[in-house]
Structure formats: C-alpha cells, structure tokens
Structure 1
Amino acid sequence: MKSDGFRSMSTDQLWALHEQLAAELTQRIITEKATLEDRLSKLQPTGQAAKPDRSRRAYPKVLPKYRNPKNPGETWSGRGKQPLWLAKRLGAGSKLDDFLIRRPGRKRR
C-alpha cells in the first residue's frame, strides 16, 4: 500500500505546517497591500483626500402626495418605489389620482 505524504504526518506536524502556511500567506498579503497602497498614492494627487471635505447639500423636505384611504398613516411622496398598499390598489383598477392628498389653495392640473 502506497502512503500519501499528508496521511503519514502526525496531527502536530500537520498543525505546524498549517501555521507555517498561514504565516507565509499573512506576510504575502501584507507585502501586496503595501505595494497596492504605494501605487494608489502615486495615482492620487498629493493633498487630495479620498472623501471630499464639504458636507452634502441639504435637501428640502418632501411632503407626501398620496395617502392610503384605509390607513391615513401610510403616505407616499411619489418618489422611489411605490409602496405595497398603493401597488395593490393600482393593480385592482384604482387610479393614482384617487390617492392624491388634496391641499387647500392648490389648483389641480
């Protein structure tokens, strides 16, 4: 019966081999990371930060345009994905205008 190299090693020898491989891989990762960081620093102009120093522009609050008549606490501004309650009602044949929130002093288009 022919013996395979790893099968003839003891548990302690296998563990020592594992630690040796882990140390070698860790060293290679550190070296590669340093090389990549050096290349990245050459690509970025000096003094330029990765993130801009300025803060984001303040966006105005968006008022809700549509309200669920069955649950008035559920509203939607008309931006982004339609809420489930609205998608279900539209699928059942309702029109989007049926859910508009009427604001006094505003004319409908």
Structure 2
Amino acid sequence: MKSDSFRSMSTDDLWALHEQVAAELTQRIVTEKATLEDRLRKLQAPGQAAKSDRSRRPYPKVLPKYRNPKNPGETWSGRGKQPRWLAKRLGAGSKLDDFLISRPGRKRR
C-alpha cells in the first residue's frame, strides 16, 4: 500500500488495519520464539545442565605469604590488590621480602 491510500482511509479503517497487523506480528513472534526454543533444546547435549545450574569449582585455600609485623593478624596471600598496610610500608621504603612469612622447609629468597 502506498501512503496516499492510508490518507484516504477513515480512522476506523486504519484502526482495524492496525489491529490486524498487530495480531499477525504477535502470531509470527510466538511462532519464531517456539522455533528458536526448540533449536536451543536440540543444541543442548542430553543430561547437560544449563550454565546457571552449574556451580563454580572449589578453589584451594591460599595460604598467606606476607604478614604485617606491627599487627600479625593482618596477612596477604600475594594475590589481588595489595592491602593498605603493605602499600603504606612499601611507599616508606620497605621491601616486599621484608614481610615474607617464613615456613619450615622453604628457603627465603
């Protein structure tokens, strides 16, 4: 249809056309969605759970590698962002090796 034919239509005719188009679009969307969900089910391997059902694998506990000499309760494993106490001491001129926790059977570098 050309836009001139829309201009010649009455408001009631245009509304009826709008309802027909909306109904047809709704039907096509529902059909397409069902087709896509069916394809998705076929792609998933039998017995395979969806990603959201899986839990993360357990990570081993990481032992602390560095200790604050002023407060022995403050430790750091060497992973992630440096704690404030360590960054402050390193900024004051200390070396990272000064805070290493000595373990039996492990040589300190």
Distance 2:108 2:40 in 1: 53
User: How far 1:107 moved relative to its partner?
Assistant: 1.7
The answer to whether residue 63 in structure 2 is matched with residue 63 in structure 1 is yes
Distance 1:58 1:79 in 2: 17
User: How far 1:105 moved relative to its partner?
Assistant: 1.2
5+ residue gaps, structure 1: 1-34
| Structure with the largest fraction of helix | 2
5+ residue gaps, structure 2: 1-28
Per the alignment, in what secondary structure is the counterpart of residue 40 of structure 2? coil
Distance 2:108 2:71 in 1: 24
The answer to whether residue 41 in structure 2 is matched with residue 46 in structure 1 is yes
Q: Which residue pairs with 1:101 in the alignment?
A: 101
Structure-1-length-normalised TM-score: 0.56
The answer to whether residue 84 in structure 2 is matched with residue 84 in structure 1 is yes
Distance 1:83 1:42 in 2: 49
Structure-2-length-normalised TM-score: 0.56
User: How far 1:104 moved relative to its partner?
Assistant: 1.1
- Dislocated runs of 4+, deviation >2 Å: 41-44, 47-55
User: How far 1:97 moved relative to its partner?
Assistant: 0.2
Residue correspondences, number: 76
Percent of residue pairs bearing the same amino acid type: 81
Residue type of the alignment partner of 1:46 = R
User: How far 1:92 moved relative to its partner?
Assistant: 0.3
Task: Indicate the RMSD between aligned Cα atoms, in angstroms.
Answer: 3.2
Distance 2:66 2:100 in 1: 5
Distance 2:36 2:50 in 1: 13
